[in-house]
C-alpha cells in the first residue's frame, strides 16, 4: 500500500516545481497536485492496481497521465522516483515538513533556506529562537509569529497520523494476511478500530495455527520499512508510512478478550475489568478466566460482554464517556452506521474548480457508492483560489443539473446547491434570489480565521439567522495538523442553528473531521440535525464518508439525527419545509 508515500512525493514535487519560473511549470504543478490528491484519497492500493493492470490501469485513474503513471510504475518496481530525487538535490529541504506549517509555503521555505540555512524543522526552531525570521524581507514579525504558532500546532500532533492515511494501510495488511490462507481471522484493533481522528501506532490481531509462517509473511510485507522485533506469536515493524505496527497471533479461545483489550481506551478497559472482578472473573488480554484460573471461551465480543452483564458496545464508543454504565442497564442506543447513509450533502465539481472531476463522473461515483442523492455545492465568488462561481454561473450550472437529472431519472438525484462563503461581517457571498433557487445551501467560513471569539461567533450566528443556509459547513474550521479550530462559542452557534432549523456538518475529509466527536456530543444536546458529508472534490473522495460516520459514532449520534440518513422521499419533504 504505497498510496501515502507516492502521494507525499507528488505533493513535494508540486511544491518544488512551483518555484520554477518557466511558463509551463504551472501546468506541471497542477498535474502533480491533482495526482497527489487522487492517489492520497484512494482506498485501494495503487500498487495492487498496477499489479493487476500495469501502467494502463494507472492511466485510467483520474488525473493520471502517461508521465505520472510512469513515475508511479518506477517507484513500485524500483523503490525510487528519478524526478523526485533530482528535485530533492536541487532543493535539499524537508519541503513536506516545512510546508505543512501554516504560513510557510514553498517559496518562503526556499527563502529561509537561502537566507538562514533552514532546511528542516530543527533548523527552523533555531531560526525562530534567534528571532531572525521577522527581520527578513517578505516576512516580518507577524509572519514569524504565525510560523511559530503553526510549528507549535504541528508538534502537538507529532508522532500521530491521520486516520485516513493510517487505516487503509492497516486494512491492506489485514487483507494480505487473509489472502495468504494462513489465518482464520484477522482484524485491526486499537485506536484505529475506535476511529480516532489520529493514531499513534497500529495493532493487528489474528487467529492462526501457523503463527511462525504468519510472522514471516508479516515482517516481509511491502508496507514494512524495518523490523523492530520478531517472535513466534508477536512481531513489531516500522511501516514505510512512518508508524509502528504490531501483529499478535492469539489462540481462538482468547481472541475475543484480546480484541476487547486491544480496542478499548485505557479508562474503558479499567471499568470493564473492574466489573469482571465483581462478577467473579478475571479479564485480561489473554482471555476471560474463572476463579480457578480456567479460561472461559467466548466466540465473540458480544458474548464476552454478555458474560459481564453488558450490552455489546460499538468500538467507537469505548472511551469511558458513560457507555459502560448504560451498557449495564441495556440502555445504550446504537449509533448510525455507514449503510444508513443515503445521500451526500456537500460535494464539488469541475464547473467551479478545473482540478476536480466533472459532474457526470461525480454522479457515477455517487451511484457506485450506493447513494440515492447528492448535493452539488460549488464554491462561491469570493473564494477565488477555488474559482468560486457568481450568480450567473450558478444559474447556468443549475440548467446543466436539471438536464443531467432528466437523463439520470430514477437512478440518482442531484440537488442544486452551493458552499456559500460566510464573509467577515457575517453576510453571505451570493444574493438572495440565487440562494432561494437552491435546494441546499452549505454556509462555510473560509477566511479571517483569527477573529476574536465574540466576533467569529456573531459572524456565524448572523449567517445562520439569515434564513438562507441549511447546514453550517466544517463548523470549527480546523485542518489537521496545520490549522487549529478558530475560537467560537459553539453553544451560541447551536442555539442559532436550533431556532433556524440549520444542521451542523460532520465533514468527513480526514484532515477535517469537523465537527469532532467531543463537539458532536456537546452539540447533540440541542434539537438540531447533523449532516455527514464527504466534501468530495474528486470521485475517490466519496469513500471518505466512512470517516465521517466513524466520527458521528464516536459522538453517539443515532440514525434519526442525521439529515442524509433520510431516503429520497423523506429528504424531499424535509427540503420543502424550508
Hey, what CATH topology would domain 263-328 get?
Beta Polymerase; domain 3 (3.30.210)
Architecture of domain 161-249: 2-Layer Sandwich (3.30)
Residue 281 to residue 344: CA distance in whole angstroms: 46
User: C-alpha grid cell for residue 2?
Assistant: 504505497
User: C-alpha grid cell for residue 200?
Assistant: 499513534
| b/e burial code for range 100-117 (CB count within 10 A of at least 16 → b) | bbbbbebebbbbbbebbe
Q: What 3-state DSSP class applies to 463?
A: helix
> Domain 1-91 carries which CATH code?
1.10.150.110
What are the residues whose beta carbons fall under 8 Å from the beta carbon of 23, sequence distance 6 or more? none
Count of residues making up the chain: 578
Omega before 515 within 30 of 0, i.e. cis:
yes
Q: Return the percentage of the chain with pLDDT > 70, whole number.
A: 99
End-to-end Cα distance, the chain: 46
Residue 259 to residue 194: CA distance in whole angstroms: 12
Contact between residue 153 and residue 121 where contact means Cβ atoms under 8 Å apart = no
Residue 279 to residue 328: CA distance in whole angstroms: 12
Instruction: Return the closest-CA partner of residue 147 out of 100, 106, 101, 107.
Output: 101
Query: What does the domain layout of the chain look like in residue ranges?
Result: 1-91, 161-249, 263-328, 338-576
Residue 101 to residue 148: CA distance in whole angstroms: 9
pTM score of the predicted model: 0.85
Instruction: Return the closest-CA partner of residue 497 out of 509, 488, 486.
Output: 488
| b/e burial code for range 377-392 (CB count within 10 A of at least 16 → b) | bbbbbbbeebbbbebe
User: C-alpha grid cell for residue 350?
Assistant: 469541475
Residue 60 to residue 38: CA distance in whole angstroms: 12
Range list of β-strands (E), 163-223: 185-188, 198-199, 202-207
> Domain 338-576 carries which CATH code?
3.20.20.140
Helix extents (H) in 247-345: 255-261, 266-278, 301-307, 323-328
Output the CA angle 446-448-452, nearest 5 degrees.
125
What are the residues whose beta carbons fall under 8 Å from the beta carbon of 477, sequence distance 6 or more? 445, 449, 483, 485, 486, 514
Residue 45 to residue 47: CA distance in whole angstroms: 5
Written as one string, the DSSP assignment of 359-411 is HHHHHHHHHHTT-SEEEEEEEBTT-GGGT-B-HHHHHHHHHHHHHHHHHTTTT
pLDDT (tens place) for every residue of the chain, 578 residues total: 688 889 989 989 988 888 887 877 888 888 888 888 888 877 788 888 998 899 999 998 878 999 999 999 999 999 899 999 999 898 888 888 888 887 788 888 888 888 888 988 899 988 888 888 888 888 888 888 888 888 887 777 667 899 999 999 999 999 999 999 999 999 999 999 999 999 999 999 999 999 999 999 999 999 999 999 999 999 999 999 989 999 999 999 999 999 999 999 999 999 999 999 999 999 999 999 999 999 999 999 999 999 999 999 999 999 999 999 999 999 999 999 999 999 999 999 988 777 788 999 999 999 999 999 999 999 999 987 778 999 999 999 999 999 999 999 889 999 999 999 999 999 999 999 999 999 999 999 999 999 999 999 999 999 999 999 999 999 999 999 888 899 999 999 999 999 999 999 999 999 999 999 999 999 999 999 999 999 999 899 999 999 999 999 999 999 999 999 999 999 999 998 65
Amino acid at each position: 500500500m504505497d498510496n501515502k508515500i507516492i502521494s507525499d512525493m507528488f505533493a513535494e514535487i508540486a511544491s518544488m516545481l512551483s518555484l520554477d519560473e518557466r511558463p509551463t511549470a504551472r501546468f506541471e504543478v497542477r498535474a502533480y497536485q491533482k495526482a497527489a490528491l487522487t492517489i492520497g484519497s484512494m482506498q485501494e492500493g495503487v500498487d495492487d492496481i498496477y499489479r493487476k493492470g500495469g501502467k494502463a490501469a494507472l492511466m485510467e485513474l483520474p488525473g493520471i497521465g502517461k508521465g505520472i503513471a510512469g513515475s508511479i510504475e518506477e517507484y513500485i518496481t524500483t523503490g525510487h522516483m528519478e524526478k523526485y530525487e533530482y528535485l530533492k538535490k536541487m532543493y535539499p529541504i524537508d519541503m513536506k515538513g516545512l510546508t505543512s506549517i501554516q504560513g510557510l509555503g514553498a517559496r518562503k521555505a526556499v527563502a529561509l533556506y537561502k537566507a538562514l540555512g533552514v532546511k528542516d524543522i530543527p533548523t527552523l526552531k533555531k531560526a525562530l529562537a534567534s528571532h531572525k525570521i521577522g527581520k527578513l524581507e517578505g516576512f516580518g514579525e507577524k509572519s514569524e509569529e504565525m510560523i511559530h504558532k503553526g510549528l507549535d500546532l504541528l508538534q502537538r500532533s507529532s508522532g500521530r497520523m491521520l486516520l485516513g492515511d493510517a487505516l487503509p494501510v492497516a486494512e491492506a495488511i489485514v487483507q494480505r494476511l487473509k489472502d495468504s490462507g494462513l489465518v482464520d481471522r484477522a482484524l485491526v484493533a486499537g485506536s484505529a478500530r475506535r476511529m480516532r481522528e489520529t493514531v499513534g501506532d497500529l495493532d493487528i490481531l489474528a487467529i492462526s495455527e501457523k503463527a511462525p509462517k504468519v510472522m514471516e509473511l508479516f515482517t516481509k510485507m511491502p508496507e514494512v520499512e524495518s523490523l523492530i522485533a520478531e517472535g513466534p506469536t508477536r512481531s513489531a515493524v516500522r511501516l514505510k508510512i512512518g508508524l509502528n505496527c504490531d501483529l499478535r497471533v492469539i489462540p481462538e479461545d482468547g481472541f475475543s478478550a484480546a480484541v476487547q483489550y486491544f480496542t478499548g481506551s485505557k479508562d474503558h478497559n479499567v471499568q470493564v475489568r473492574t466489573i469482571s472482578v465483581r462478577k467473579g472473573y478475571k479479564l485480561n488480554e489473554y482471555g476471560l478466566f474463572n476463579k480457578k484460573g480456567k479460561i472461559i471461551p467466548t466466540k465473540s465480543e458480544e458474548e464476552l460482554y454478555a458474560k459481564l452483564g453488558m450490552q455489546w458496545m460499538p468500538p467507537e464508543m469505548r472511551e469511558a464517556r458513560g457507555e459502560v454504565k448504560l451498557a449495564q442497564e441495556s440502555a445504550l442506543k446504537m449509533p448510525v452506521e455507514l449503510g444508513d447513509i443515503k445521500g451526500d450533502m456537500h460535494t464539488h465539481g469541475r464547473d467551479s474548480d478545473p482540478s476536480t472531476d466533472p459532474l457526470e463522473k461525480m454522479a457515477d461515483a455517487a451511484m457506485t457508492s450506493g447513494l440515492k442523492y447528492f448535493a452539488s455545492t460549488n464554491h462561491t465568488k469570493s473564494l477565488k483560489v477555488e474559482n468560486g462561481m457568481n450568480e450567473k454561473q450558478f444559474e447556468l450550472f443549475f440548467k446543466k443539473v436539471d438536464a443531467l437529472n432528466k437523463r439520470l431519472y430514477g437512478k440518482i438525484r442531484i440537488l442544486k446547491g452551493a458552499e456559500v462563503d460566510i464573509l467577515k461581517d457575517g453576510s453571505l457571498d451570493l444574493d438572495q434570489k440565487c440562494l432561494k433557487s437552491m435546494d441546499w445551501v452549505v454556509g462555510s467560513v473560509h477566511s479571517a480565521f483569527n477573529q476574536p471569539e465574540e466576533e467569529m461567533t456573531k459572524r456565524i450566528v448572523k449567517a445562520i439567522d439569515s434564513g438562507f443556509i441549511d447546514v453550517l459547513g466544517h463548523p470549527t474550521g480546523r485542518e489537521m495538523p496545520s490549522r487549529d479550530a478558530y475560537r467560537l462559542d459553539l453553544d451560541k452557534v447551536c442555539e442559532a442553528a436550533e431556532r433556524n432549523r440549520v444542521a451542523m456538518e460532520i465533514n468527513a475529509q480526514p484532515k477535517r473531521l469537523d465537527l469532532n466527536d467531543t463537539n458532536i456530543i456537546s452539540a447533540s444536546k440541542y434539537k438540531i440535525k447533523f449532516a455527514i458529508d464527504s466534501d468530495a472534490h474528486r470521485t475517490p473522495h466519496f469513500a471518505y464518508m466512512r470517516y465521517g460516520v466513524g466520527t458521528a459514532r464516536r459522538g453517539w449520534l443515532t440514525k434519526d439525527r442525521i439529515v442524509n440518513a433520510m431516503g429520497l422521499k423523506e429528504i424531499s419533504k424535509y427540503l420543502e419545509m424550508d
